Structure 1
Amino acid sequence: MKAVVVENYDAIDGISIRQIDTPGISKGEVRVKVGAAAIGFVDGLKVQGLYQTKDPLPFVPGTEFAGVVDAVAGDVSAFKPGMPVVGMTRSGALAEYITVPSAALKNLPPQVPFETAASFQANYLTGLYALDARASLLSGEILLVLGAAGGVGIAAVQIGKLMGARVIAAASTAEKRDFALRYGADQTIDYTRADWRDTLKELTGGHGPDVIFDPVGGEVSLQAFRSIAWRGRHLVVGFASGTIPALAFNLPLLKGGALLGVDLAQIQRREPGTHTRLMAQLFDWLASGQLQPVVGKVVPFENFREAFKTMQSRSALGKMVVTFG
């Protein structure tokens, strides 16, 4: 089969599609013919060896995928060949076939395209875990989403609206702000402007945001926290800016505010009950049509580098998706 193979941690141009063996099946496993795989910001860091954990070389990148069951182990009864599924794993999704434990898969509602499903789980689980389990966002509260046009940012915009919040989307270009408005944001802010905190103060009537969803980091994070409402919650989701901010401890004291970490990689292991509950909620929303995940640019497998480069340039609207066949 064909797969993207990372043989050395390298720039995107140094990674290529190779012919490798189709994976076999062991006890409890399912092999899936991949229809689409998603590329996120973390995937770009992993192939370059820049992420906080490193996959052993060589490896096939990609954590999210959707496709059709190709074969199952004899002890697996929940899935049958031909069933559409969606899955998430540590790596291996940028290939024509992937083998995973059956627990890594979920049945895909028939009305949901592979491209939509592949871009769904990581971003929307991160958004719901952050806003529900960490921040306890309440209906009527003000939610500020930084980097609102990115994959995880636009997920937070949509979930915030489903939870009844008033959503202010912060993004760096008019195109990105219009994108956020199309997917439910109530208002937008250009956080590249020197006076953006004055605009935020005006929009919130001096109250400030009750919850800040922050996948950006850098100086904008520090400025956002300075504007947070009393007893506000600042969700630390990531550092797309490339800079990890250092917050003076007197600011949380003066604001009565809280910094809350959000790490998708640890949710299932450390909070399995919460993980199960949130996944059930997401798939209920997906099946009912209440939640329609945003698909960014879709590129064919042969052009996978374009997906990585667009994501790394921070010009992506939504999540990048690679399709097969």
Structure 2
Amino acid sequence: MKAIVCRELTGIKGLALEELPAPIPAVGQVCIRVHACGVNFADSLITRGQYQAQPQPPFSPGFEVAGEIVEVGEGAARFNIGDRVIALTPQGGYAEQVAVNVNRCVAMPAVMSYEHGAAFPIVFGTSHIALWHRAQLRAGETLVVHGASGGVGLTAVAIGKQLGAMVIATANGPEKLDVARQHGADHLVDTRYEDVRARIKALTDGRGADVIYDPVGGDLFTASLRCVAFEGRILVIGFAGGTVPQIPANHLLVKNVDVIGLNWPAYAELNPRVMTESFQILLQWYVAGAIQPHISATYPLEQAVEALHQVVTRKSTGKVVITVDGSKSDES
């Protein structure tokens, strides 16, 4: 089978397309013929040795796939050969086949395409657990979403509207803001030209935002501390801006502010009930037509490095997906 392989922790430049033996599922695993794989910023971290659960080379990146089961290991009988599934993989998604624990797989609705399946779990799962479970966003509250045109940002906009919030989207430039508007944002703030703090305060009649969703960090986090409402909640999702902020505790004390971290993958091991319930809600919303992934580009497996480059350089909006022709993978 074909796979994109990382043999040294030198970043994207160390990735190469190789021919490998097809995986054999261990006890409790299934083998999936991959039809599509979502691309995430964390894929670049794992190739540099900077991911929190770091495998040693050689390995393939790729944390989320959609495909069909081609082999069922012992103890994985809840699925059958031919079942369409979405799977969260510790690594290995940039390949024609991957073996994954059965408890990391969910059945894919018949109406969902493989591309949507691969674009769905991480970005929607992250935003839903952040807003619904961690921040407990309520109908009628004001939600600010930073980086609102990115993979997780767009899903936070859509989920915020689904939960009944007024959504203020921030992004860099009118083109990216227009994407956020198309996904339901009520108000738009251009971080390139506008004073984020002043604009959010103005849009909330001076009160500030109830919940701020921040996958960017840096200066935007500083602005968030200054425009969050009394008893507001700031969600720390990531640091795509490159700077990890330091929090002056007196700001939290003055307005009774909660700063809430989210390590979404940890729920798979430490609180799977929350992740399972979240997926059930999200897939119901998808089938009902209430939410849908925004895929800005697809690349074949052979161009996976370029796909990842698009995400790392923040040139994409929404999700980038690798499509895989797995029709020959069972011959390797």
User: TM-score normalized by structure 2?
Assistant: 0.95
Aligned residue runs from structure 1 range 107-126, under 5 A: 107-126=107-126
Question: Which stretch has the larger CA shift, 10-19 or 180-189?
Answer: 10-19
Residue type of the partner of 2:98?
Answer: I
* Structure 2 residues without counterparts, runs of 5 or longer: 326-332
Q: Deviations over 1:31-65 (max 9, x none)?
A: 11100001101111111223344221111110100
CA distance in 2, matches of 1:314, 1:51: 19
Aligned residue runs from structure 1 range 1-325, under 5 A: 1-193=1-193, 195-325=195-325
Residue type of the partner of 2:214?
Answer: D
SS in 1 for 2:231: coil
SS in 2 for 1:118: helix
Residue type of the partner of 2:169?
Answer: A
Q: Deviations over 1:62-117 (max 9, x none)?
A: 01000111111254332222221111111011100011122111111111111111
CA distance in 2, matches of 1:292, 1:195: 31
SS in 1 for 2:209: coil
Runs of 4+ in 1 over 3 A off after TM superposition: none
* Structure 1 residues without counterparts, runs of 5 or longer: none
Instruction: Answer whether contact 2:7 2:14 (CA < 8 A) is retained.
Output: no
CA distance in 2, matches of 1:144, 1:267: 24
Question: Which stretch has the larger CA shift, 21-30 or 266-275?
Answer: 266-275
Q: Deviations over 1:214-268 (max 9, x none)?
A: 0001111111111101110000010001110111111011122110011112122
CA distance in 1, matches of 2:161, 2:194: 28
CA distance in 1, matches of 2:40, 2:197: 29
Which residue of structure 1 lines up, in the alignment, with residue 330 of structure 2? none
CA distance in 2, matches of 1:75, 1:259: 41
Q: Give 1:308 deviation, angstroms.
A: 0.8
Question: Which stretch has the larger CA shift, 139-148 or 291-300?
Answer: 291-300
SS in 1 for 2:297: strand
Q: Give 1:279 deviation, angstroms.
A: 1.7
CA distance in 1, matches of 2:304, 2:270: 33
User: TM-score normalized by structure 1?
Assistant: 0.97
Question: Which stretch has the larger CA shift, 157-166 or 260-269?
Answer: 260-269
SS in 2 for 1:230: strand
CA distance in 2, matches of 1:80, 1:17: 30
CA distance in 1, matches of 2:77, 2:201: 56
SS in 1 for 2:281: helix
Q: Give 1:287 deviation, angstroms.
A: 2.4
Specify which structure has the bigger relative contact order, considering alpha-carbon pairs within 8 angstroms and separated by 6 or more residues: 2
CA distance in 2, matches of 1:320, 1:8: 24
CA distance in 2, matches of 1:278, 1:84: 20
CA distance in 2, matches of 1:253, 1:226: 13
Percent of aligned pairs with the same amino acid: 37
Residue type of the partner of 2:229?
Answer: A
CA distance in 2, matches of 1:77, 1:240: 40
SS in 2 for 1:259: strand
Residue type of the partner of 2:323?
Answer: T
